[in-house]
Structure 1
Amino acid sequence: MTTVQSPPAPPTAIRPRVVARAGLYAVLAANAAAVTYFFADAGFGASNALLVLGRLAGLYGALLMAFQLLLVARLPWLDRRIGMDRLTSWHRWTGFGILWTLLAHAVFIVFGYADSSGLDPVNQLVDLAETVEGVLRAVAALVIIIVVGAVSGRSARRRLAYETWHFIHLYTYLAVVLAFTHQVAVGTTFTASSAATAYWYTLWAVALGAVFTGRLVLPLWRNLRHRLVVSAVVPESDDVVSVYITGRDLDRLPARAGQFFLWRFLTKDRWWQANPFSLSAAPDGRTLRLTAKAAGAGSAGLRHLRPGTRVFAEGPYGAFTALHRTRAESVLIAGGVGVTPIRALLEELHGHAVVVYRVAAERDAVLYDELRELALAKGAELHLVTGPVHPDKLAPAELARLVPDIAERDVFLCGPPPMMRAVLGSLRELNVPGPQIHFERFALAG
């Protein structure tokens, strides 16, 4: 397969992920400072310290909600540099930050007013909801956020289907709208000055605009432009299939080897399902290819797709690309069907590469013939490692034997989570620097 590639950029000491992460932290810190300034500029105007703390907590909660929207917007610039899995992790912890700041806001405000009025906290809350505009909406927003937080816990998340969890999460957008209208109605800081009002309107407009652009406008525009369709379905083994997809102007689709899309195949029984599958070949400007193992109803159904089926794809997503290289030479470690982005990366990467492919038995080595041909054409070393899980065939001593200079190379890793955890431990024991280790997990937020 011939790939369309620009000349390779030399590895650089300037890490895109560090730049993007520092930029996000700087944006959050600058806005936290702005929120604090506008709060102080408006004057405390409260009869006790509980009300002051409650109002400040509410403002920080609103800021975190806006930041949360930016994290889930799937903006290409951020996603290519940080990766959806890491953005999703930040999204999760930011969500818990929102939960606790808004709970603190509610508790401090209710107890603060109760201290002044002499009412008990429950009756004080009822009184505020009945007499103050926007408070009832704030209570509804907080209830939604508590429910979303409860189903986001690890134990609850494991018990829910992704579609159910995602549907519940969509109510977070309703909570954002309710919280914003509450802030407009009763937020003294919001209306304290024209500058404060302009700041908050701008903040929410940018956050909501990012979501609208990244989650709706950009996917719709790309799919209207490229008009993707299935061109061929090729079984690779009894439980693995490759799907070839064509469309218009694919040379203008900014996809790179190692990235993935959320694929929707527009048939009667599949149009509502979005499944993340990596590209298993470097984009060549004419065809996209995904290769998947039957691990559930979504992936198993790929075998029955027919050529001509329309496709709606969101992406490309992921930071598992050559953009993050720091060394001229590399090691590519794949486990099972995790070979798909590794095979695509091998096609794109320049410089000497060593490929280590771990499977239980040789018959499980999907795309092995292609890997062997690519390795031969590019002068890469290819090691097929087979056998049971124990003993660990990718323990530190084994990796050092296969790749003696592994600490001097970039390492790209993709495979089942237990294997990835074991290999990451081996790499740490071999003193491979963290910036040289590249991996990504499929993780969908919001």
Structure 2
Amino acid sequence: MTAISTAAPARGLTTAQWLLALVGLNAMWVTDLLVMDGGLSDNLLTVLGRATGLYGALLLVFQLFLIARVPWLERGLGMDQLTRWHRWTGFWVLWLLLAHVVFITLGYAASDGSPVVTELGTLVFDTGDVLKATVAMILLVVVAVTSARAARRKMRYETWHFVHLYAYLAVILGFLHQVTTGRDFVGSPVATAYWWTLYGGALTAILAARVLLPLWRNARHQLRVHRVVAESPSVVSVYITGKRLHELPARAGQFFLWRFLTKDRWWEAHPYSLSAMPNTCGLRITVKALGDGSAWLRTLKPGTRVFAEGPYGAFTSNKCGRRGALLIGGGVGITPIRALMEELRGDVVAVYRANQWEDTVLANELRHLAQRMGARLHMVVGPVDDKLLSAAHLAELVPDVRERDVFVCGPPGMTDAVLTTLRALAVPAEQCHAERFAFAA
């Protein structure tokens, strides 16, 4: 799991507005293509089937852009907003495509005067590449079900990520269905050029940002494990070195998707935040053993090759204005907070929330860093209690909290509670920047 940004600064809102406008314009264009192709001359059920199929395909392409991790888009919105949009549009894609299946089947059955079940069998087994589309639909349903929060809580990250990759196969199969049998795809040269351009642009963005750029950066920087340090029985820090690290565009508060190229784990990618400000000497991550993919890191050997994708995340000092900063971290979520604490200058207050002293990872390091940077550090340790980090307690610790940019990173329960407290204290929303531990899409 990793911390991913949820804040929406002015720049992010501008990027969001541009994206929504672009989707709206494309929706209008798709509707225009449907009308120009005589799509309204069919019976109502068939028209609804064609329309839901087209809008579902459009949202599916939009999803591809969201998961492409294009740097300018990711910096503008932040990974968490991209993830929320990806999740929201994913379920809309599912419902639209299910509606497409239902309406098309009912519409064709009405036109042919045949039973619905018979018509469905004819479509699936006797009509072009509809069988491929059926397999794609089944894969999308499986991906959607395993992406539901209740299912994700019961799954290992590695399992969830592997199942999620089948969405790419679903996209390919659905595209092949459109190419061969989609009336609105091949009905006119304009429609054909439009859909090829749309899918081609999305797949090019994925290829460039998720394959070519990581390959180029890793070939250039040649990352390797330098050393592994046990911070506690359940927490380990991995120090990573490489070449030309001054050219790596990483910032404190960001994260990478890490692959440690051992013979039995090279295929696993895990999102971990930087736990120290990146510099020319190297990078550091600090990880709590929350699963097999995390616990084994303490067995890494110096010299192990590392493949990293990123950096990702908009949880950086760019969000800090001229006002002071308040950093609030909990659990292993203290790692990006600790990195930010090293980078930020000026009036900085840090609050470290933990249930017991044994859980205060990097506590001594934070104390020394606070002393060196002239920051104030508050250790808030104790069991879950409504009084700890309540509005009254936080106002006592930081009387001028309304005048600060507030950065929060920790487990979901703690993060939600702190954000509620900040709202109760009337801290402006644009000054609140939160990071959550969640699956990265």
220-229 or 320-329, which moves further after superposition? 320-329
Deviation at 1:386, TM superposition (A): 1.9
Closer/same/farther in 2, CA of residues 337 and 145 from structure 1, 3 Å limit: closer
After TM superposition, the structure 1 stretch with the greater mean CA deviation from structure 2, 35-44 or 58-67, is 35-44
Q: 1:439 to 1:388 in 2, by over 3 A?
A: same
Q: Of 335, 344, 349, which aligns to 1:340? A: 335
Which residue number corresponds to residue 218 of structure 1?
Answer: 213
What's the secondary structure of 1:173's corresponding residue? Answer: helix
- Seen in structure 2, the aligned counterparts of structure 1 residues 411 and 284 have a Cα distance that, compared at 3 Å, is same
SS, match of residue 236 in structure 1: strand
My pick for the range that moved more, 142-151 or 48-57, is 142-151
1:223 touches 1:312 (CA, 8 Å); kept in 2? yes
Q: Which amino acid in the other structure matches residue 273 of structure 1?
A: E
Asked whether the equivalents of residues 84 and 443 of structure 1 are also in contact (C-alpha less than 8 Å), the reply is: no
- Counterpart position of 2:54: 59
Structure 1, residues 112-158: CA drift from partner, whole Å, max 9, x if none? Answer: 11111111111012223344322222222222222222222222222
Q: How does 1:3-402 map to 2 (within 5 A)?
A: 15-44=10-39, 46-402=41-397
Deviation at 1:427, TM superposition (A): 0.7
Q: Distance in 2 between matches of 1:131 and 1:241?
A: 57
Distance 1:442 1:356 in 2: 18
Residues 1:434 and 2:434 aligned together = no
Aligned mates of 1:160, 1:122 — CA distance in 2? 36
More deviation, 246-255/333-342: 333-342
For residues 291 and 279 of structure 1, the distance between their equivalents in structure 2, rounded to whole angstroms, comes to: 7
Q: Which runs of 5+ in 2 are unaligned?
A: 1-7
- How far, CA to CA, are the matches of 1:277 and 1:414 in structure 2? 13
Once residues 289 and 419 of structure 2 are traced to their aligned partners in structure 1, the CA distance between those partners, rounded to angstroms, is 26
Per mean C-alpha deviation after superposition, the further-off stretch among 189-198 and 402-411 is 189-198
> Contact 1:91/1:445 (CA < 8 Å) preserved in 2?
no
Greater relative CO (CA pairs within 8 A, separation 6+): 2
When the two structures are superposed, what TM-score results if normalisation uses the length of structure 2? 0.93
Contact kept, 8 Å, 1:412 with 1:437, in 2: the verdict is: yes
Name whichever of 111-120 and 285-294 sits farther off: 285-294
| Greater displacement, 359-368 / 87-96 | 359-368
Alpha-carbon displacement from aligned partner over 1:325-377 (angstroms, at most 9, x marks no partner)? 24521100111222111111011112211111122344433222332232223
Q: Residue by residue, what CA displacement relative to the aligned partner does 1:304-327 show, whole Å, maximum 9, x if unpaired? A: 222111111121111111122245
**Aligned AA for 2:401?**
I
Deviation at 1:177, TM superposition (A): 1.4
User: What percentage of residue pairs aligned between the two structures are identical?
Assistant: 58
Counterparts of 1:44 and 1:279 in 2: how far apart (Å)? 53
CA distance in structure 2 between the aligned counterparts of 1:45 and 1:149, rounded to whole angstroms:
31
* Structure-1 residue corresponding to 2:404: 409
**Superposed displacement of residue 102, structure 1:** 0.8
Of residues 108-117 and 352-361 in structure 1, the stretch that sits farther from structure 2 once superposed is 352-361
**Displacement of 1:303 after TM fit?**
2.0
Q: Distance in 2 between matches of 1:35 and 1:381?
A: 56
Greater alpha carbon shift after TM alignment, 376-385 vs 310-319: 376-385
What SS does the aligned partner of 1:167 have?
Answer: helix
Once residues 43 and 436 of structure 1 are traced to their aligned partners in structure 2, the CA distance between those partners, rounded to angstroms, is 51
**CA distance in structure 2 between the aligned counterparts of 1:360 and 1:125, rounded to whole angstroms:** 57
Distance (whole Å) between structure 2 residues aligned to residue 408 and residue 278 of structure 1: 27
Give the distance between the partners of 1:323 and 1:308, measured in 2 at CA.
34
SS across alignment from 2:153: helix
Q: Distance in 1 between matches of 2:254 and 2:440?
A: 17
Task: Tell me the alpha carbon deviations over residues 266-299 of structure 1, each in whole angstroms, 9 at most, x when there is no partner.
Answer: 2233323222221111111221011122333332
Summarize the Cα distance change of 1:291–1:264 in structure 2 as closer, same or farther, 3 Å threshold.
same
In the alignment, the residues of structure 1 paired with residue 160 and residue 293 of structure 2 have an alpha-carbon distance, to the nearest angstrom, of 17
What letter is aligned with 1:215? R
Deviation at 1:45, TM superposition (A): 5.9
What one-letter code is carried by the residue in structure 1 that aligns with 2:49? Answer: G
Shift of 1:167: 2.1
Shift of 1:213: 1.9
Tell me how far apart the structure 1 counterparts of residues 390 and 107 of structure 2 sit (CA, whole Å). 59
**TM-score normalised to the size of structure 1?**
0.92
Question: Aligned with 2:205: secondary structure?
Answer: helix
